[in-house]
Amino acid sequence: MQELPQFPTTCFSKSPIVSPMWAHYADNHSGFVLEFDSDRIKEHHPHTPIRDVDYLEAPKTDLHDLLAKASVVGKPRHASWLRDAVFSAAYFSKYAEWAYEQECRMVVDEENCEEIVGNHILFLPASCISAVIVGSKFPEPKLPSVKDIAGRYGYESYEVVIGKSYPTPYLLDDQRKTRVFSDGQIVETDFICESCSEPLNEEGEQCPWCRITEDHQRHAAMTNPFRILDHYGALDGYLEDVANIKRRFR
């Protein structure tokens, strides 16, 4: 693998709602994501591979078989197959622990890039972008600029929202309509909460959070055993006893 040329590589994610990706690459949800149309990219760079990354628990065994053929039989085609397989393994595979990234990669020949301040830059037409998605902590004063740029180029624009009940982040379009990411697409959701517009997993009027009433809160407070212990001044002692028991059994 060390003999392979080091081609400029761009990494994409197939999902705009992976929270660790927002945390790592978009300044903890305060940045933005650009959605690219891979078909349009391929139109402008038809010989540039864009492929999904394979997430593996262990290296592929076929590399061993190809290496044996190339080194023992020694036919040119075996060496060529081995080189292609090693290239694929080097650029398009990662260990399974990275699977949450849902990554695909674009490997570019340096001849197609322009070197700017030590970086290999591949220029693409603005039409290769299809949407702009801002994070849940994106600075509100900058939102008008994003929407202006999106409108100027005909992009869709969305805001990511981390809800109180819905299990994954969802999106709001420029009309403040609720959208979800499903089967690789940003789509309308079938059911939303009538109070907060959060998506619902099944038909209903309100999400679990908005269904909480003052009676629920009062009942939870009255039956909370910690509150009862605190009322009689026994909470601190109880917590200290529990901590001692845990330490004893470690």
Quote the CA–CA distance of 121 and 51 in Å, as a whole number. Answer: 19
Tens digits of residue pLDDT in 168-203: 999 999 999 999 999 999 999 999 999 999 999 889
Mean pLDDT of 157-175: 94
Quote the CA–CA distance of 7 and 197 in Å, as a whole number. Answer: 45
- Please, which pLDDT band fits residue 156 given cuts at 50, 70 and 90? very high
Please say if the pLDDT value at position 3 is more than 80. Answer: no
Q: How many CA atoms lie within 13 A of 127 on its CB side?
A: 6
Tens digits of residue pLDDT in 207-244: 999 999 999 999 998 899 999 899 999 999 999 999 99
